[in-house]
Amino acid sequence: MIIKKKVITKKKVMKTFVKSVWVFNWFNSCGFTEILPVVSSRWDMERFGLVAVNSPRKADALFIAGYQTHKSMKRAQQIYEQMPNPKFVFALGSCTMTGGMYWDSYNTVKRIEDYVPVFMYIPGCPPRPEAIFDAVHKVIVHVDELPDE
Amino acid sequence: MSTMSDDSKNSLLEEKLIKNLNTKLGVSINFQKERRLWTSIDSDKIVDICTKAYEMGFEHLSTISVTDWLEEGKHELVYHLWSYSHKVLLTIKTKIDRKNPNISSINSIWGANAETCERECHELFGVKFEGNPNLTPLFLEDWEGPPPFLKDFNWREYVKEETYDQNNPREKVYFEVKK
């Protein structure tokens, strides 16, 4: 009888951990108020297993929205470091991509990928709730598409 | 009718207060409008006058603000003091030299409250408050440029030079924006 050796692959590990995506929010300024409909009953993110958690240590994904200053970005990095692997960073809205309407301000971060590794940018000012659900679904698709080797 | 009598009563009270302040502080108080008094003083008297005003019931320091008068070569510091007993806002204005912006700290009277206001003025205008032990940046961590609220600092050009690359086709458009 041949005993098949169990191989641990990245895909298998990711499949175990990434099921429903729990989210920790790091929002500045209007970022919070604009994403609030995603949580509330109209779009209700909990029906897709998306839960806003109260500690980065429980989170799979980090949502960053609103314009970030150099001071707030340091705190975002601390949050990112506390999150367990596998972790995904979503940058929401145009402010995180280019600085948005604060593109020529002296104290805003222009490109967030210079500070934390971004999994996905979601454009929009603010992004539609549907776009956020679609982006989070892509995490699961991403895990499915990983090569099993 | 009752409101009118109240107004006249209030103005009488304020007149008394102005006279009192004039004699005790040794400054000329201007009546701007109802419940608004202001005075201009020399910058070296600031601690002395603030102490006396505190003793007269102006216990609350609302804020300290700075105006940059570029042509005049001066920074104008404005201290807003509120009195809970008189219900009057006393504004103390003082001017300091723009090239040598030093003034004594009022943290002996208002403590940490004044220190936070002074930290903000220090980082945005570069005003040095002598006697304030903690003038570290409040908002602008890792800032290397000049104080950003100075009138002669063109921060739009500064940001373009520091953050954007004119040869990058994606960022070229930023240099075409005219403001």
Contact A71 B155 (CB under 8 A): no
As a whole number of Å, the end-to-end CA separation of chain B is: 54
Q: Could you tell me if B105 and B177 lie in one domain?
A: no
For A34, half-sphere exposure in the C-beta direction (CA atoms, 13 angstrom radius) is 20
- Which of A69-90 are b and which e, b meaning 16 or more Cβ less than 10 Å from the residue's Cβ? bbbbbeebeebbeebeebbbbb
- Torsion, CA B37, CA B41, CA B44, CA B50, rounded to 10: -10
CA distances to A5, A12, A33, A149, B43 from A16, in Å: 19, 6, 33, 16, 68
Give the pLDDT score at B1. 46
pLDDT surpassing 50 at residue A54: yes
* Overall number of domains in chain B: 2
Q: Could you tell me if B139 and B157 lie in one domain?
A: no
What gap in Å lies between CA A63 and CA B167, rounded to an integer?
32
Q: Could you tell me if B135 and B95 lie in one domain?
A: yes
Q: Could you tell me if B143 and B154 lie in one domain?
A: no
User: Would you call B175 an interface residue with chain A, using a CB distance cutoff of 8 Å?
Assistant: no
Q: Could you tell me if B96 and B51 lie in one domain?
A: yes
Q: How many residues does chain B have?
A: 179
> In which band, very low, low, confident or very high, does the pLDDT at A18 lie, cut at 50, 70 and 90?
confident
Residue-wise DSSP of A57-120 = GG-SEEEEES--BHHHHHHHHHHHHHSPSS-EEEEEHHHHHH-GGGTT-TTB-S-GGGTS--SE
The predicted model gives B16-35 an average pLDDT of 77
Q: Could you tell me if B144 and B154 lie in one domain?
A: no
CB nearest B148 (choices: A69, A106, A110): A106
Strands B74-83 and B60-69: antiparallel
In this structure, which topology does domain A22-145 adopt according to CATH?
Rossmann fold (3.40.50)
CB nearest B158 (choices: A69, A74, A106): A106
Q: Could you tell me if B142 and B172 lie in one domain?
A: no
- Mean pLDDT estimate for chain B: 85
Residue-wise DSSP of B62-107 = EEEEEEEETTTTEEEEEEEEEETTTTEEEEEEEEEESSS-EEE--H
What gap in Å lies between CA B166 and CA B10, rounded to an integer?
62
User: Would you call B130 an interface residue with chain A, using a CB distance cutoff of 8 Å?
Assistant: no
Report the share of chain B in percent with pLDDT over 90. Answer: 20
Contact A106 B155 (CB under 8 A): yes
Is residue B70 within 8 Å of residue B18, measured between CB atoms? no
pLDDT surpassing 80 at residue A5: no
Is residue A135 within 8 Å of residue A120, measured between CB atoms? yes
Q: Which sequence spans correspond to the domains of chain A? A: 22-145
Determine which of A72-76, B9-13, B76-80, B96-100 has the lowest per-residue pLDDT on average: B9-13
Residue type, B153: F
- A-interface mutation test, from B120, B144, B159, B162, most A Cβ less than 10 A away: B159
- A-interface mutation test, from B124, B154, B163, most A Cβ less than 10 A away: B163
For helices A30-39 and A129-145, angle between their N-to-C axes, nearest 10 degrees: 70
Q: Could you tell me if B141 and B157 lie in one domain?
A: no
Q: Where in the sequence is the domain holding B161, given as residue range(s)?
A: 149-179
For helices B46-55 and B2-25, angle between their N-to-C axes, nearest 10 degrees: 130
> In which band, very low, low, confident or very high, does the pLDDT at B2 lie, cut at 50, 70 and 90?
very low
Q: Could you tell me if B114 and B153 lie in one domain?
A: no
Residue-wise DSSP of B96-138 = EESSS-EEE--HHHHTHHHHHHHHHHHHHH--EEET-S----S
> In which band, very low, low, confident or very high, does the pLDDT at B5 lie, cut at 50, 70 and 90?
low
Q: Looking at this predicted complex, what is its ipTM? A: 0.71
Q: Could you tell me if B65 and B141 lie in one domain?
A: yes
Q: Could you tell me if B128 and B172 lie in one domain?
A: no
Closest by CA position to B77, among listed B85, B69, B67, B62? B67
User: Would you call B158 an interface residue with chain A, using a CB distance cutoff of 8 Å?
Assistant: yes
Q: Could you tell me if B100 and B164 lie in one domain?
A: no
pLDDT surpassing 90 at residue B78: yes
Residue type, A69: T
**SS3 label, residue A56:** helix
Q: What is the CATH number of the domain that holds B127?
A: 3.30.460.80
Is residue B20 within 8 Å of residue B27, measured between CB atoms? no
For the stretch B112-158, pLDDT in tens is 888 999 999 999 998 999 888 888 888 888 888 888 899 888 888 88
